Chain A
Amino acid sequence: GENVEQHPSTLSVQEGDSAVIKCTYSDSASNYFPWYKQELGKRPQLIIDIRSNVGEKKDQRIAVTLNKTAKHFSLHITETQPEDSAVYFCAATLDQKVTFGTGTKLQVIP
């Protein structure tokens, strides 16, 4: 089955700096890669996603890149703000099978 590895497990950045979270996947057939943000005590919520036929996607301060050959994808957050502090999960999807990474706890220090 699919295996998704996510790094780092924790990340601290100064407000205004950039944050990068990386994921690798094992099944080359996976074709959809969402990223979820989970604030403390809340449900995970989709923040951005990318399909296998696209290399990069941006939405304001967040962007995701996908390298199908290397089977890795990354989340980039620029100009971080304290409200970006949360746990971020990547996922790799094929049909109904969704495999999540283990999560990255991002702390933005004011």
Chain B
Amino acid sequence: NAGVTQTPKFRILKIGQSMTLQCTQDMNHNYMYWYRQDPGMGLKLIYYSVGAGITDKGEVPNGYNVSRSTTEDFPLRLELAAPSQTSVYFCASSYPGQGNTIYFGEGSWLTVV
């Protein structure tokens, strides 16, 4: 099992550009999440999904969009990138039958200049 796979690992964006962070998991987990982690800070939930076709906002959704067309994939779209979106982004997944233990991807380092 690859677990949770995120791409790209590193990206530099110019202000106003858009991009999509890709996330896929091969554990057949129902729940998927996107978190951001600013330097030296904790994890803030951007969006989450409890299954294909269902998404919901987390704590900091502004400036982002998500979709969940399949169980495996949960891409995060950044529209009109701003310096405030410079952060590390973690995709994660979990399965309620396993106590909802969250498994994180390796992270995507995004810098907006």
Contacts and interface: CB of A to CB of B under 8 A. Distances in A.
A93 B94 CA distance: 12
Given A89-B42, A100-B43, A46 B101 contact: yes
Interface in B27-65: 31, 33, 41-43, 45, 48, 50
B48 A96 contact: yes
A36 B43 CA distance: 11
A51 B106 contact: no
A11 B79 CA distance: 39
B99 A101 contact: no
A96 B96 contact: yes
Contacts, number: 49
Interface residues of B, number: 20
Contacts of A45: 104
Interface in A25-63: 32, 34, 36, 42-46, 49, 51
Interface of A: 32, 34, 36, 42-46, 49, 51, 89, 91, 93, 95-96, 98, 100-103
